[in-house]
Amino acid sequence: MAITNIYQPAKTTDISEAFHVNRPPILQKIGNTPLLPITSLTRDISPRVKIYAKAEWFNPGGSVKDRPALRMIEQAELRGDLRPGMTIIDATSGNTGIGYALVGAAKGYPVTLVMAENVSLERKQIARAYGAQLIFSPAEEGADGAIRLVRDLVARSPESYYYPNQYDNPDNWLAHFYGTGPEIWRQTDGVITHFVTAVGTSGTFTGVGRYLKMRNADIQLLSVEPLDADNAIEGVKHMESAIVPGIFDPGLKDGEVRVTSEQARAMTRRLIREEGLFVGFSAGAAIHSALQVARTLDEGVIVTVMADSGAKYVSLWRQPHSTL
């Protein structure tokens, strides 16, 4: 069950690519990220079970969210919804906002981002470095507070803004249907048996999941969510207590794995120190969950997603409760 061509890029099947021959060079580097084997942390599972993870910080904006940010903006251009002089605005926990800011800078659009006050310092600084204007919602309201605030701002001045609305925009999951999903299929030579990933907007889960089910209906799709509303994990939604994204398709999943914030942080720490993978907390939640699934199998190929690197969370590790 060896994997070959791990670093071989997938060819897109998205017909809309034909319209983007003038895409700025930096935006051409979005996608085709490497699929890395998890080795040190898998020593206690069956040798016939393999875990691989997409290293999404290889995207130029540093996260998996570059993919939907690019597609949402370019499809809006094609439809005429986004025109010169308009400002791109959306609610974000940071990574999609950075993706918007990157694309906006490359294409010449101003970007305004609405985010909770407690978003990590690094994500705020990176977004500002790209030229984005930041508006903050109360920390205690989390991502949902940012969503409510951005809707209010757009309602006041609808002609000034293009509001992608990443939580309800089908181009979010289609970015993964046409990009991430085919890459995973190609990189595993089609022998993937399980896809396990954290859900935030749910674009990755929905898009990759639909593509993989199209290729092989027996592939198991498992979502990763916090154990409950009190276990906050950066970039991961607890659906029962949150505004559920319109693109989320709960009927798509074959199961779910629940993770505590401490389990996510502990696994993030282990990934850094035992695998040499400096990743964010959602990656810790994803790998913890993939290992939980692996321990129930005699054989299989599990793929998950490491959404971003740990460089955007260094300030959070410095907090008093951290033991990194």
For residue 323, is pLDDT > 60? no
C-alpha separations of 179 from 10, 58, 186, 284 in Å: 8, 14, 11, 23
Cα separation, 214 vs 211, whole angstroms: 5
**Per-residue pLDDT tens digits for 189-211:** 999 999 999 999 999 999 999 99
Place of tokens 């396990």: 196
For residue 320, is pLDDT > 60? no
CA angle at 43 for the pair 52 and 300, rounded to the nearest 5°: 45
pLDDT band at 11 (very low <50, low <70, confident <90, very high): very low
pLDDT at 232: 86
Catalytic residue among 137, 223, 282, 289: 282
Of 134, 162, 190, which one is at a domain's C-terminal end? 162
- 71 and 107, same structural domain? yes
The arithmetic mean of pLDDT across residues 122-134, rounded, is: 96
Catalytic residue among 54, 65, 237, 253: 65
- 239 and 183, same structural domain? yes
Q: Which domain holds residue 290?
A: 15-60+179-317
C-alpha separations of 119 from 35, 245, 261, 305, 313 in Å: 28, 20, 16, 21, 9
The arithmetic mean of pLDDT across residues 318-324, rounded, is: 55
The arithmetic mean of pLDDT across residues 68-79, rounded, is: 97
- 56 and 21, same structural domain? yes
pLDDT at 9: 38
pLDDT band at 317 (very low <50, low <70, confident <90, very high): confident
Active site residue 120: no
When divided into structural domains, the chain yields a total of 2
Q: In what order do the strands lie in the sheet with 255-259?
A: 35-37, 49-55, 300-306, 194-198, 220-226, 255-259
Active site residue 237: no
Dihedral sign from CA coordinates of 315, 317, 322, 324:
negative
The arithmetic mean of pLDDT across residues 228-243, rounded, is: 90
